[in-house]
Structure 1
Amino acid sequence: MNKKAAIIAGVAIVGLVGAFALTNKKDVTPDTNVAAESSMTITHSLGETTVEKNPERVVVFDIPTLDTMEALGIDNVVGVPTSTYPENLSKFDSDEYTKVGTVKEVDLEAIKSADPDLIIIGGRQADYYDQLKEIAPTISVSKDNTDYVGSVKENINLIGELFEVEEKATEAFAKVEERLNEVKELVDGKEALTVMVNEGNLSVYSDKSRFALINQGLGFVNADETIEDSTHGQKVTFEYLAEQNPEYLIVLDRGAATGGESTAESVLDNDLVKSMDAYKNGKIIYLDAYTWYINDGGLNSINIMIDDIANGIK
């Protein structure tokens, strides 16, 4: 071999060795990255939880999360609470899914039998958090009523990231935001009072309540800005409603939401309500009870909520 050939051969050998070394080094790095990217740490209202992405066996207590998972085509659910599910979630009534209690009372043994990789809860199950996290990693997706729309968006994006359908979740909520803005233009700062009817009892709600979408997201001005911020609202009388006399009266029938007797229309059928402008002008909006009370803020359900208001604007 002449000198020139030897040099060329030497360079080639060095190049091959270097390429081999670089290739091996590159293979190690992605393996490390894949391990890191396969899990995520979620900070939520009850703590901080590290979970594996795309868990295969999920127990879901939070109905809006079920709604979002169904909308995004995520089929990793093995356990759900016993509930009266709407049509789009009716499959969860079947025996295919372990029934793990109710939205208010969990069944720890049933949850264990479902052998979950992840448990997702909402505000109603907060008291069980310490017990649940001993069974499997547990996260809370309760909403922040001081920033309702932002909180719903955050929860939907979280589910998208957790189950690796981020783009689908982002695109879907962008359409929700478009619809919100359209209906907000229709509302145009109109005055309203939101009232829950529970048999014969009445409660009204502030801008930072479970009905925050009405004011924060859709732009209604609350007829009474002094209502206390409370999960259960502020109890009032029919005389109070007549005195406030809002342009719109927005009504939720709790009995209809919880599988009981629907009473709102009969309860509101009295002379004091009939004296109100909202009654005279046909501006009483009855909300889809289950959606607003049990399933508020899911990816499908928030569209129903927006449509409830849009269809009632005159």
Structure 2
Amino acid sequence: MKRFFTFSNLLFLLVILIIFSACGKKEQSAVNGEVVNKDKETTGETRTVEHLYGEAEVPADPKKVILLSHVSWEGSLVSVGVKPYAVMAYDNEFPPHLTQELEGVKALPYADEINSEEIVKLDPDLLIISDRYKPLYDQLAETIPTVVVEVGGDWKEDHLKVAEAVGKLEEGKKVIEDLEKEATDIGERIREVTGDQTFMAVAINKKDIRVFGRTNHATNSLLFDDLKLTPAENLPEDFGENISIEGLAKYNPEHILDVTYFNSGEFYDSVTEGEVWKNLKAVQKGNVHTLSTTWGFWDPIERKKGLKEIEELLLK
């Protein structure tokens, strides 16, 4: 009896030990699993993005992105597969080259000053803004992840920073590579036809004329870096200048690319119907090429459409 009792006790203790051991392993597994999950959340939930005013901890996969800029960086977002939640729009209309791509996106009014309370109400998980909105950054950066991009001369830098902000940097690089290949091909075929004939881009505003220069603007980069066209004599070395009607005569290129946004109005008519305009070589040779893609070629979608349009106009 004593032997049986001892054996039973041993058997009972053995069972208890097995149960506790299993529970302990299960508990340890759960603890370890929780640690792994926490580590995963810590490393995957946010990313650090350096920007013009410092650093921002941004969501790894932002779902509600608001972009505020006077250039169409929303095209950069779309090009890497990200549809923004809200962007600014002139008179409630998106850039013409992005109308379909931005269908359903909330349109915010263009303004030089933005009411921070209106942005807070939209509850974004990521805000991307241009450097002209420094006051907005100062008000919101502590509560909303905010990346500030400087509107500079190199559209590629802007594009890549916007892509990086939404976690699509590699995709953004691939977009640039594809565009460069396409521009090289189109440029070679255009130069076979035009040779060393000179080019200039203009935009006729409401009161003056913008002549685009050789550098520091996305339009200049498209024409003279990507397509490698020959710039007109006397073009500004920098991004450009605003001139009067009489100022056109000093450039006198053989080709004019007209990227005017409003192709009508009293001043527009006074320029295109005036003697200075009519005496330009490009006008006399029928080489004024009016583009419908007129937002400055600052995003890859606009740039691709601009390349195709220039190709059609010059090689028709």
Distance 1:194 1:87 in 2: 19
Q: Which residue of 2 aligns with 1:310?
A: 311
Distance 1:308 1:127 in 2: 38
Identity rate, percent: 19
1:169 deviation in Å?
4.1
Pairing partner for 1:74 from 75, 82, 94: 82
- Cα pair distance change 1:139/1:153, threshold 3 Å: closer
Q: Which runs of 5+ in 2 are unaligned?
A: 1-27
Q: Which residue of 2 aligns with 1:154?
A: 160
1:172-221: CA deviation from partner (whole Å, max 9, x where unpaired): 44322221111221343642222221124122222224323222222223
- Cα pair distance change 1:244/1:212, threshold 3 Å: closer
- Tell me if structure 2 keeps the 8 A contact 1:195–1:249: yes
Q: Which residue of 2 aligns with 1:227?
A: 236
- Tell me if structure 1 keeps the 8 A contact 2:75–2:301: yes
After the TM superposition, which residues 294-309 of structure 1 pair with which residues of structure 2 at under 5 Å, given as runs? 296-309=297-310
After the TM superposition, which residues 48-67 of structure 1 pair with which residues of structure 2 at under 5 Å, given as runs? 48-62=55-69, 64-67=72-75
The one-letter code of the counterpart of 1:299 is: P
SS in 2 for 1:199: coil
- Cα pair distance change 1:243/1:305, threshold 3 Å: same
TM-score by length of 2: 0.72
- Tell me if structure 2 keeps the 8 A contact 1:190–1:219: no
SS in 2 for 1:140: strand
User: Greater CA radius of gyration, 1 or 2?
Assistant: 2
Q: Which runs of 5+ in 1 are unaligned?
A: 1-20
The one-letter code of the counterpart of 2:291 is: L
Q: Which residue of 1 aligns with 2:188?
A: 185
After the TM superposition, which residues 1-314 of structure 1 pair with which residues of structure 2 at under 5 Å, given as runs? 32=39, 35-62=42-69, 64-75=72-83, 77=85, 79-83=86-90, 84-85=93-94, 86=96, 88-89=98-99, 97=106, 100-145=108-153, 147-148=154-155, 150-155=156-161, 157-158=163-164, 162-163=166-167, 165=168, 168-188=171-191, 190-210=197-217, 211-213=219-221, 214-224=223-233, 227=236, 229-230=238-239, 233-255=240-262, 261=265, 264=268, 267-288=271-292, 290-292=294-296, 296-314=297-315
1:244 deviation in Å?
2.1
1:152 deviation in Å?
4.8
The one-letter code of the counterpart of 1:223 is: A
- Tell me if structure 1 keeps the 8 A contact 2:76–2:163: no
- Tell me if structure 1 keeps the 8 A contact 2:261–2:295: no
Distance 1:254 1:235 in 2: 15
Distance 1:104 1:254 in 2: 20
- Tell me if structure 1 keeps the 8 A contact 2:293–2:302: no
The one-letter code of the counterpart of 1:276 is: L
Q: Which residue of 2 aligns with 1:10?
A: none
SS in 2 for 1:42: strand
SS in 1 for 2:204: strand
- Tell me if structure 1 keeps the 8 A contact 2:83–2:102: no
Distance 1:157 1:58 in 2: 12
- Tell me if structure 2 keeps the 8 A contact 1:195–1:252: yes
1:224 deviation in Å?
3.7
Distance 1:126 1:251 in 2: 33
1:256-314: CA deviation from partner (whole Å, max 9, x where unpaired): 6xxx959646622222222222112222122335432xxx3323212122223222325
SS in 1 for 2:236: coil
1:121 deviation in Å?
1.2
SS in 2 for 1:300: helix
The one-letter code of the counterpart of 1:179 is: E
The one-letter code of the counterpart of 1:300 is: I
- Cα pair distance change 1:52/1:139, threshold 3 Å: same
Distance 1:152 1:46 in 2: 14
The one-letter code of the counterpart of 1:181 is: T
